[in-house]
Amino acid sequence: MAAIINSSPQPAILEEELEVEATSETMRGARILCEALIREGVDTIFGYPGGAVLHIYDELLKTQDRIKHVLARHEQGAVHMAEGYAKATGKPGVALVTSGPGATNSVTGIANAFMDSTPLVVITGQVPSLLIGNDAFQEVDTVGITRPCTKYNYLLKDVRDLAEIVREAFHIASTGRPGPVVIDIPKDITAQTAPFTYPDHLDLPGYRPDSYGPIEQVKRAVSKICEATRPILYVGGGVIHSNGSEELLELAERLNLPVTPTLMGLGCFPAGHTLCLGMLGMHGTYAANMAISESDVIVAIGVRFDDRVTGALEKFAPQAEIVHVDVAPSSISKNVRAHFPIVGDARSVIRQMLDLLPRDTEEPSRARLAPWWEQIRDWQVYAPLTYKNSDEIIMPQFLCEELYRLTGGEAIIATDVGQHQMWLAQYYPFKGPRQSLTSGGLGTMGFGFPAALGAQIAFPRRQVVAFVGDGGFQMTAQELATAVQYRTNIKIVIMNNNYLGMVRQWQELFYDRAYSSVNMEWLPDFVKLAEAYGATGLRATRPSQLGSVLERGLATPGVVVMDILVSEEENVYPMVPAGAGLKEMVLG
């Protein structure tokens, strides 16, 4: 603590001092970093070089047979790629950037990972220790800037701490509620030498995230759920982070419970399952929003009652008692008070619940919940997701359905942010976890394409699609060069409505169609743009072309950009207007 007040510069470390343990090999900091990353099982790093990380890049060249470095075209892209890699694989993603502008460019990606609880380790170069605080060239206070948007961050002060810090960083990033960890490394430290030993234990006395919930509380929750007559499972990203999809399926089936996933939870429960009501919230299905509003017991697992999910809080599920399972205590009773708070990770707590269930639950549940299901089926029939298709113009919903048909529902799809994101959530029924990659908490335009690229690099043989808007794609389109350079097979589908569609929708509905700065007016020719980067470009303008363009594009090897011109002023429905309750949906 005292260091904050007397920030005297660290004394220069003497070389002799560092050569202590003769048993371990002595190496420079940059090499220690690479070796530590290898020990953590890192096979891929996404990054961008610069002065402060020159030593690290020099070592990366020597370790390239063990760690692949992917050169992005912008640091934001590198961090989104690392996030796509992490979301698709479940392993922490790693990004490496230089000091100053390299660090500031990566902040959007770090904040995005923080909001969506994605495990990342971001290594930032820093100016040499003795220059810190001197407004040195390319100096920024990286730990200061990233403190509020990281789970934890470090400023390295001694090369002898490096291996231990890397070890801690991976542990912190990937356990409990996952999140990004930044390690800021001054350039001089990457040149200093120390013996390399990888620590086998961690010293984190204040960090002990729980996995199992308190058993008495889980028991009480289970008996409540077993008595409920209008229960619903509301599930999210926490189920995916904890790899709890199988357990969730078993819980839902054994108790015959309706399930509604959040945007971040898409795929944690198979969308085509009869128990699945579709997504809830602002653009959720009528049945999901009605069911949660009328429920008597909400079983919320790995969710955080985000404002886009609950609508007006005072109107949210007035009759419901709430069981809330989350690994982060601060997520519980934050927006909506939980009657049965359970701190623990989703998978472990569902496992506990399953173990506590009486043997034959299916039949009694079916009988008890028959009237509830009848009501839910009525809601589904009354207002299913629907749109009016056309022979003249491609409807965006039809595009999503065609994409589903032609990928067999098996693709990993990363979306950007906007209308297309919501339509894909509604019309692409994800079958499994880690298939949907999207920016939920921060809502970062520019996320989709690099995130998809990170996933494609993790899984070179899988079908990976970036489903993006004409606006958002332009925020990180330069990563086409990265996609082509690494010979990926990524497919980019641009839902081109020639508008910043989601903002236009709000201006249409709430500002009397006074369109202010939402018409792109000048779009690049995306087909030629693809070709300029050495990729294939295709375009569909009419419904009759759509199937064949998608089919051809998906089957063409290499990077393919498909520019799909869709109806310009279509709106996403249902929609819960800002400030309204979930039952006050506008159906369109």
Binding site for another protein (CB under 8 A): 1, 3-4, 143-144, 147-148, 151-153, 155, 172, 176-177, 204-208, 210, 328-330, 332-334, 343
Instruction: Give CA 255 to chain center in angstroms.
Output: 29
Q: Is 412 helix (H, G, I), strand (E, B) or coil?
A: strand
Whether the CA torsion 130, 134, 140, 145 is positive or negative: it is positive
Quick check: is 217 catalytic? no
Q: Is 259 helix (H, G, I), strand (E, B) or coil?
A: strand
State the number of binding residues for Mg ion (CB under 5 A).
6
| Residues 455-474 within binding reach of ligand TPP (CB under 6 A) | 469-472
Contact 34, 166 (CB under 8 A): no
What is the nearest approach in angstroms of Mg ion to the Cβ of residue 213? Answer: 43
Query: How far is it between the farthest Cα atoms of the chain?
Result: 78
Which residues, listed in sequence order, are joined to residue 26 by a DSSP beta bridge? 195
What is the nearest approach in angstroms of ligand TPP to the Cβ of residue 448? Answer: 9
Q: Closer to ligand TPP at the Cβ: 269 or 449? A: 449
Quick check: is 380 catalytic? no
The DSSP string of 97-111 is: E-STHHHHHHHHHHH
**Residue 503 near ligand TPP by CB under 6 A:** yes
Distances, alpha carbon 334 to alpha carbons 270, 303, 327, 329, 378, in Å:
28, 11, 14, 9, 33
**Residue 501 near Mg ion by CB under 5 A:** yes
Question: Two tokens at 24?
Answer: 């371990």
Distances, alpha carbon 361 to alpha carbons 166, 222, 226, 260, 357, in Å:
47, 12, 8, 21, 7
What is the nearest approach in angstroms of ligand TPP to the Cβ of residue 569? Answer: 11
330 binds, among another protein, ligand TPP, Mg ion, none (CB under 5 to 8 A by kind): another protein
364 binds, among another protein, ligand TPP, Mg ion, none (CB under 5 to 8 A by kind): none
Quick check: is 138 catalytic? yes
Contact 122, 182 (CB under 8 A): yes
State the catalytic residue, choosing from 138, 463, 485, 545. Answer: 138
What is the nearest approach in angstroms of ligand TPP to the Cβ of residue 438? Answer: 12
What is the nearest approach in angstroms of ligand TPP to the Cβ of residue 422? Answer: 8
Interface pick for Mg ion out of 247, 321, 326, 470 (rule CB under 5 A): 470
Contact 226, 367 (CB under 8 A): no
State the catalytic residue, choosing from 137, 246, 528, 569. Answer: 137
Q: What is the rounded CA–CA span in Å between residue 322 and residue 304?
A: 12
The piece of 168-176, 324-332, 384-392, 494-502 that touches ligand TPP (CB under 6 A) is 494-502
What is the nearest approach in angstroms of ligand TPP to the Cβ of residue 526? Answer: 12
State the number of binding residues for ligand TPP (CB under 6 A).
20
Q: Closer to another protein at the Cβ: 2 or 514? A: 2
| Residues 371-430 within binding reach of ligand TPP (CB under 6 A) | 416-420
**Residue 502 near ligand TPP by CB under 6 A:** yes
Q: Is 501 helix (H, G, I), strand (E, B) or coil?
A: helix
Give the CA-trace dihedral at 128, 133, 135, 140, to 10 degrees: 80
| Residues belonging to the active site | 75, 137-138, 187, 502
Using CB under 5 A, list all residues that contact Mg ion: 469-471, 497, 499, 501
Using CB under 6 A, list all residues that contact ligand TPP: 416-420, 443-446, 469-472, 495, 497, 499-503
